[in-house]
Copies of this chain bind each other. A is one copy, B any other.
Amino acid sequence: MFTYILDEDTELRPLEPAHARHIYQLIDQSRSYLRQWLSWVDATTSVQASEDYVRAALTQSMENGGFTAGIWYKDQLAGIIGFHEINWNHRTVGIGYWLGENYQGHGLVTSALRVMVDYALLELNLHRVEVRCATGNKRSRAVPERLGFILEGIIRETELLPSGYVDHAVYGMLQQEWKLKR
């Protein structure tokens, strides 16, 4: 029911259990595409699995103060973006995202990430936001690069995908840097 308008075609909507079936369909439509970069695709074999995911995300996010949202494009679910667990002691957080194959190329994630970083660094007053992408995932890496994140390191063989281990590019954005960019 709730929404955040990104532009006339695009909105963020906070996950709710009723979205599970949209999530499952989006995954199911582009399995071979998504499993290149997402380790959990093969384990998502039913709407129930997506509903479990939604409930886990809601519980984690709500207890911790963050949230996970669907990226909706022309009233279709196009992808997911969300905060990982906020570290309130050090005031840092990671953000993760993915997009269905047919929704690439419209800058959807870039607009979504911009708004999430605003929320994290300006609303929640966090100090640092981190995005990690597999090094070979060019499209994913382009998003933080476009927003001016700094590449801080290449963490080697830290994620196991169906195709084998991949390295992570770690991108960071600090609160003071983000304020200067606006």
Contacts and interface: CB of A to CB of B under 8 A. Distances in A.
Contacts of A3: 2-4
A35 to B, nearest CB: 14
Contact of A153 (B69, B92, B152): B152
Contacts of A172: 155-158
Interface string A119-162: 10001100110100000000000000000001011111111100
A156 B160 contact: no
A63 interface: yes
Contacts of A158: 90, 92, 128, 130, 172
A123 B1 contact: yes
Contacts of A47: none
Contacts of A160: 89-91, 127
30 contacts: A1-B67, A1-B115, A2-B3, A2-B4, A2-B67, A3-B3, A18-B65, A18-B123, A39-B89, A39-B90, A55-B62, A55-B63, A58-B62, A59-B62, A62-B62, A89-B160, A90-B159, A90-B160, A91-B160, A128-B157, A130-B155, A152-B154, A152-B155, A152-B156, A153-B153, A153-B154, A153-B170, A155-B170, A157-B172, A157-B174
**Shortest beta-carbon contacts, A-B, top 8:** A153-B153, A2-B2, A58-B62, A90-B160, A152-B153, A156-B172, A2-B4, A2-B14
Interface of A: 1-4, 12-14, 16-18, 39, 55, 58-59, 62-63, 65, 67, 69, 89-92, 115, 119, 123-124, 127-128, 130, 150, 152-160, 165, 170, 172, 174
